[in-house]
Structure 1
Amino acid sequence: MKRDLSYLSTCPIAVLGGGAVGKATAADCKLAGREVRLYSKSEKSIARLDKTGILLDGIQRNLYGFERSGRVFLDIVSTDMRKVVKGAKLIIIGVPALSHEYYLKTLVPLLEDGMIIHTFTDNYASLLLRKLMREMGCTKDVIIGGWSSAPYGTRIEKICGFWTNHVGIKYRAISLRGACLPMSDIDDFMESVKYLPCMDSVTLGEGPQRGDTMLDIGFANVNPVIHVPASLLGVSSMENWSLVYGNAPDSYSMYSHGLCPSICRVQYQFYQEECKLAKAIGIASPYYSYESFFSRRSILTQEYMGLDENGKDNVIFPLDKPCDEGNTGPNSIDHRYITEDIPVGCKIYHDFGVKFGVPTPIIDSMIVLGGAMHEKSFFEETVYNLDYLGIGHMTRDELLDYMYNGRYVKKTS
Structure 2
Amino acid sequence: MARDLSYLATCPIAVLGAGAVGKTSAADCKLAGREVRLYSRSKKSLAYLDKTGILLDGIQRNLYGFERSGRAHLDMYTNNMAEAVKGAKLILMSIPALAHEDYLKALVPCLEDGMVIHTFTDNYASLLLRKYMREMGCTKDIIIGGWSSAPYGTRVEKVQGFWTNHVGIKYRAISLRGACLPMKDIDDFMESAKYLPCMDSVTKGDGPTRGDTMMDIGFSNVNPVIHVPASLLGVSSMENWSLVYGNEPDSYSMYSHGLCPSICRVQYQFYQEECAIAKAMGIESPFYSYEMFFSRRSILTQEYMGLDENGKDNVVFPLDKPCDEGNTGPNSIDHRYITEDIPVGCKIYHDLGVKFGVPTPIIDSMIILGGAMHEKSFFENTKYNLDYLGIGHMDKDQLLDYMRNGNYVEKK
Normalising by structure 2, what TM-score?
Answer: 1.00
Q: CA deviation at 1:249?
A: 1.3
**SS state at 2:156 partner:** strand
Q: Does 1:285 align with 2:282?
A: no
Match of 1:310 in 2: 310
C-alpha distance in 2 between matches for 1:194 and 1:227 = 30
**SS state at 1:37 partner:** strand
Match of 1:340 in 2: 340
Match of 2:161 in 1: 161
C-alpha distance in 1 between matches for 2:17 and 2:124 = 17
Match of 2:11 in 1: 11
Alignment of 1:52-71 (within 5 A): 52-71=52-71
C-alpha distance in 1 between matches for 2:216 and 2:68 = 30
Gaps of 5+ in 1: none
CA deviations 1:218-245 (Å, max 9, x no partner) are 0000000000000000000000000000
C-alpha distance in 2 between matches for 1:226 and 1:65 = 25
C-alpha distance in 2 between matches for 1:199 and 1:352 = 31
Match of 1:357 in 2: 357
CA deviations 1:252-295 (Å, max 9, x no partner) are 00000000000000000000000000000000000001000000
Match of 1:370 in 2: 370
CA deviations 1:122-159 (Å, max 9, x no partner) are 00000000000000000000000000000000000001
Aligned residues: 412
**SS state at 1:388 partner:** coil
Q: Which amino acid aligns with 2:173?
A: A
Q: Which amino acid aligns with 1:336?
A: R
C-alpha distance in 2 between matches for 1:241 and 1:124 = 34
Match of 2:145 in 1: 145
C-alpha distance in 1 between matches for 2:2 and 2:266 = 44
Match of 1:383 in 2: 383
Q: CA deviation at 1:320?
A: 0.2
Alignment of 1:233-312 (within 5 A): 233-312=233-312
Alignment of 1:109-128 (within 5 A): 109-128=109-128
Match of 1:81 in 2: 81
**SS state at 1:250 partner:** helix
Normalising by structure 1, what TM-score?
Answer: 1.00
C-alpha distance in 2 between matches for 1:46 and 1:154 = 18
C-alpha distance in 2 between matches for 1:134 and 1:219 = 25
Q: Which amino acid aligns with 2:32?
A: A
Q: CA RMSD in A?
A: 0.3
C-alpha distance in 1 between matches for 2:72 and 2:245 = 40
**SS state at 1:267 partner:** helix
**SS state at 1:285 partner:** coil
Match of 1:331 in 2: 331
Match of 1:222 in 2: 222
**SS state at 1:157 partner:** strand
CA deviations 1:337-360 (Å, max 9, x no partner) are 000000000000000000000000
C-alpha distance in 1 between matches for 2:129 and 2:8 = 22
CA deviations 1:152-205 (Å, max 9, x no partner) are 000000011100000000000000000000000000000001100000000000
**SS state at 1:128 partner:** helix
CA deviations 1:323-373 (Å, max 9, x no partner) are 000000000000000000000000000000000000000000000000000
C-alpha distance in 2 between matches for 1:72 and 1:128 = 32
